[in-house]
Amino acid sequence: MREATYSYGKNLFSMEQIKEINLQINKSFISGSDLPALTAKKTSNVKFLMLGSIQRLIIPFLQYCQEANNTSFGFDLFQLSSQKILNYNIYETGTEYSWHVDAESRSPIRDIKLTCLLNLSEGPFEGGDLYLFKGGEVKCKEFREPGSAVVFPSFTNHRVEKLTSGNRATLAIWMHGPKFR
């Protein structure tokens, strides 16, 4: 379904599947460093993994991302490879990510076109809602549900409000394509 500036998919994964995905993610971390937006405050913990290490487990999410692009955005996207680096974001009480856009200014040949997020939280949490900005703040209320996904153009200003209790875990995939013209 599409609403405002984003597309969301509910219940792509059951809690049992979420636990299996998280287990595999926790076995697959690689070294890396987070590069948050320059003007943003980001206090979540970020770990990195290659798509190939969990690809078979997240096929419904990958298919949803492609379908969201096909039906809601229509960007020219590069094919994802098993070497694609994904971010696993862990928000604990008091952590947040202030307003920012996802961009790649250093590449002369590609841009980040879509931000694709999967909620992999295993327990309840308070706060930590995702907001997008389109003429005002738009709360992505559907994304609170574990196993749900949200996809939006990466140039959309967005934030994760401060988590007030519990833990929130999300998987982020940025889909690239040729430079915008």
Please spell the DSSP secondary structure of 112-173, one letter per residue. Answer: EEEEEEEE---S-EEE--EEEESSSEEE-GGGGSTT-EEEEETTS-EEEPPEEEEEEEEEEE
- Token digits of residue 81: 């490879």
What residues form DSSP beta bridges with 100? 158
Q: Are 89 and 172 in contact (CB under 8 A)?
A: yes
Place of tokens 């460093």: 33
- pLDDT tens profile 112-162: 999 999 999 999 999 999 999 988 999 999 999 999 999 999 999 999 999
What pLDDT digit, counting tens, does each position of 29-76 carry?
997 767 677 778 888 999 999 999 999 999 999 999 999 999 999 999
Q: Which domains does the chain have, with CATH numbers?
A: 2-178 (2.60.120.620)
Kindly tell me the sign of the dihedral angle through the C-alpha atoms of 96, 16, 24, 59.
negative
pLDDT digits (tens, 9 = 90+) for 4-33: 489 999 999 999 999 999 999 999 999 776
Q: What is the pLDDT of residue 3?
A: 41
CA 67 to chain centre: 16
CA 121 to chain centre: 13
Residues linked to residue 167 through DSSP beta bridges, in sequence order: 92
DSSP at 101: -
Q: Which amino acid is at 31?
A: S
Cα–Cα distance, 181 to 164 (Å, whole number): 41
Q: Note the pLDDT of residue 1.
A: 42
Nearest to 8 by CA among 174, 122, 148, 157: 148
Predicted local distance difference test score (pLDDT) of residue 134: 85
